[in-house]
Amino acid sequence: MAAVTMTVDDIRPWNDHAVRSRFPALARNAPPIYADAPGGTQVPSEVIDAMVDYLSTINSNIEGEFDATRQTDALIHEARADAAALVGGDPEGIAFGQNMTTLNFNLVRAVGRTLTSGDEIIVTQLDHEANVSPWLLMAQDRDLTVRTIPLTTDLDIDLDVLASTVGPRTRVVAFTLASNAVGTVTKAREIADMAHAHGALAWMDGVAFTPHRLVDVNALGSDVLLLSPYKVYGPHLGVGWIRPELAESLPAERVRPASLRPLGHRFETGTLSHEAIAGFRGSIDYLTSLGTGSDTREQIKTAFMSIQAHEAQLVDVFLQGLADIPTVHLVGRAGSSDRVATFGLRTLNVSPEQAARHLDAHGIYAWNGNFYAQGVMEALGVDPESGILRLGFAHYNNLSDVQRCLEALRTLGITG
Ligand SMILES: Cc1ncc(COP(=O)(O)O)c(C=O)c1O
């Protein structure tokens, strides 16, 4: 197929109301302000309807000879195509799982069985533990060396250190596309190129990136890419994409009778949440409806152009407003480029927990804690028990949400 170049004219004009009215949670009378997106997003009606519909009218196991089971097989087949369209890859490599963490443990164990004593794994201090702990545990089992790449002062993966660390024994470079704690967008292609130059795999955590920007596994050079649909306007579920040749070569931990095709199915242990897979399809229907174009991928691409442009405004306004609040300090990247709308904040007069309670009292949902981003907490020198405050916006947030968050932050430590 010929490459299509999208321009700003291809994206639909943004309409806050039209977007927000699709989300029942936001259409309630006096809903809270959801500034908690990095912990999980709200869902549009398509997701709720698809899950209810599946459970009401199909609700079956797979690979049987009656209608409901055939419909479930078809659902999973179509969901693989949808997930492939979301990441820009081959549907054969799509695997569903309970969540990203569980899927990653499965995949790491599979690749671990191909590694030998002295092989090296690179992880980063920016990553969520879901892309660190499985490697540390596997390294103990297989006598591997794990090397951790530290962060730059603006909380990005230090590429100079990476360049001097990756070497002939490196087998995997595991890293995130974006930080779930402080919003940094990493230089994924450069990192993948460094890994590949040494014959290592580029193992990408896309969980914190996928809600905000288009993923393209081929352009990124991914060997493995993982995401969590419950943070991309869908239900609680995990999705992985494994480059098909790699998926075929890995000794997956699986039960003997399970089918070997599609390749991604090798990493799916037991019965999946079919209703969540139905809901995932609903989230893709929703996303494609925000875009334009003749196929699902193009619609997703243009939807993310709109989402990114809208969120860039939210980021700018939030950062400008924050600069005038002396008692709340942004951690990490101060500029609005190369970041998503996830903000790690230090609150000078109150603890992160008190700050989250204060925001709740103002009708704002925001998270406090370490968000399992242990390396980031270490780099910041904060007590991981207490962590930091985190506000995160999704495309369904609007400028009024951002302003109300800023107003509430201004009174932190002054009023209840
Ligand atoms: C960047 C990142 N990676 C991985 C995970 C783990 O995802 P899951 O909850 O699907 O296991 C999270 C969850 O917060 C995350 O933010």
CATH 3.40.640.10 applies to domain 50-287:
yes
Query: C-alpha distances in angstroms, 138 versus 105, 142, 199, 291?
Result: 9, 6, 20, 41
In the reported structure, the alpha carbon of residue 130 is separated from the centroid of ligand 1 by a whole-number distance in angstroms of 6
- In a mutational test of the pocket of ligand 1, which residue from 175, 207, 372 has the highest number of ligand atoms less than 8 Å from its CB? 207
The backbone torsions φ and ψ at residue 97, rounded to the nearest 5 degrees and listed phi first, read -155, 180
In the reported structure, the alpha carbon of residue 233 is separated from the centroid of ligand 1 by a whole-number distance in angstroms of 14
In the reported structure, the alpha carbon of residue 240 is separated from the centroid of ligand 1 by a whole-number distance in angstroms of 12
User: Which residue has the CA at smallest separation from atom 14 of ligand 1?
Assistant: 39
Q: Residue 416: what pLDDT?
A: 47
Bigger pLDDT: 268 vs 3 = 268
Atom of ligand 1 nearest to the CA of 238: 10
State both tokens at 278. Answer: 């139905």
Most distant CA atoms of the chain, gap in Å: 66
In the reported structure, the alpha carbon of residue 148 is separated from the centroid of ligand 1 by a whole-number distance in angstroms of 19
Q: For 383-403, write each residue's pLDDT tens digit.
A: 999 999 999 999 999 999 999
CATH among 3.30.1490.110, 3.40.50.2300, 3.30.1330.10, 3.90.1150.10 for 8-39+296-410: 3.90.1150.10
In the reported structure, the alpha carbon of residue 371 is separated from the centroid of ligand 1 by a whole-number distance in angstroms of 9
In whole angstroms, give the CA distance from residue 61 to residue 382: 47
Omega before 262 within 30 of 0, i.e. cis: yes
In the reported structure, the alpha carbon of residue 122 is separated from the centroid of ligand 1 by a whole-number distance in angstroms of 19
- Sign of the dihedral defined by the CA atoms of residues 300, 306, 308, 314, in that order: negative
State both tokens at 110. Answer: 């599979």
User: Which residue has the CA at smallest separation from atom 7 of ligand 1?
Assistant: 100
In the reported structure, the alpha carbon of residue 100 is separated from the centroid of ligand 1 by a whole-number distance in angstroms of 6
User: Which residue has the CA at smallest separation from atom 16 of ligand 1?
Assistant: 180
Give the residue-averaged pLDDT of 404-414: 93
In whole angstroms, give the CA distance from residue 210 to residue 332: 20
Give the residue-averaged pLDDT of 206-210: 98
Domain boundaries, the chain: 8-39+296-410, 50-287
Q: Residue 2: what pLDDT?
A: 44
Q: For 139-187, write each residue's pLDDT tens digit.
A: 999 999 999 999 999 999 999 999 999 999 999 999 999 999 999 999 9
| Predicted TM-score (pTM) of this structure | 0.97
Grade residue 1 by pLDDT with cuts at 50, 70 and 90.
very low
What percentage of residues in the chain have a pLDDT greater than 90?
94
- Sign of the dihedral defined by the CA atoms of residues 14, 228, 276, 70, in that order: positive
> Three-class SS of residue 60?
coil
Atom of ligand 1 nearest to the CA of 208: 1
> Three-class SS of residue 174?
strand
Pairing outcome for strands 224-227 and 201-205: parallel
In whole angstroms, give the CA distance from residue 92 to residue 99: 19
Give the residue-averaged pLDDT of 363-368: 98
In whole angstroms, give the CA distance from residue 84 to residue 392: 26
DSSP state, residue 184: B
- In a mutational test of the pocket of ligand 1, which residue from 41, 100, 106, 204 has the highest number of ligand atoms less than 8 Å from its CB? 100
In whole angstroms, give the CA distance from residue 416 to residue 411: 8
Q: For 68-98, write each residue's pLDDT tens digit.
A: 999 999 999 999 999 999 999 999 999 999 9
Which residues have C-beta atoms less than 6 Å from ligand 1? 99-101, 128, 130, 176, 180, 205, 207-208, 228, 238
In whole angstroms, give the CA distance from residue 58 to residue 372: 37
The backbone torsions φ and ψ at residue 168, rounded to the nearest 5 degrees and listed phi first, read -65, -20
Q: Residue 337: what pLDDT?
A: 87
Q: Are 287 and 303 in contact (CB under 8 A)?
A: yes
Grade residue 3 by pLDDT with cuts at 50, 70 and 90.
very low
In the reported structure, the alpha carbon of residue 238 is separated from the centroid of ligand 1 by a whole-number distance in angstroms of 9
Whole-number CA gyration radius for the chain: 21
Atom of ligand 1 nearest to the CA of 179: 1
DSSP H or E stretch at residue 50? helix 45-57
Atom of ligand 1 nearest to the CA of 38: 16
With residues binned 3-state (H G I as helix, E B as strand, rest as coil), the percentages for the chain, rounded to 5, are 45, 15, 40
Q: Are 201 and 246 in contact (CB under 8 A)?
A: yes
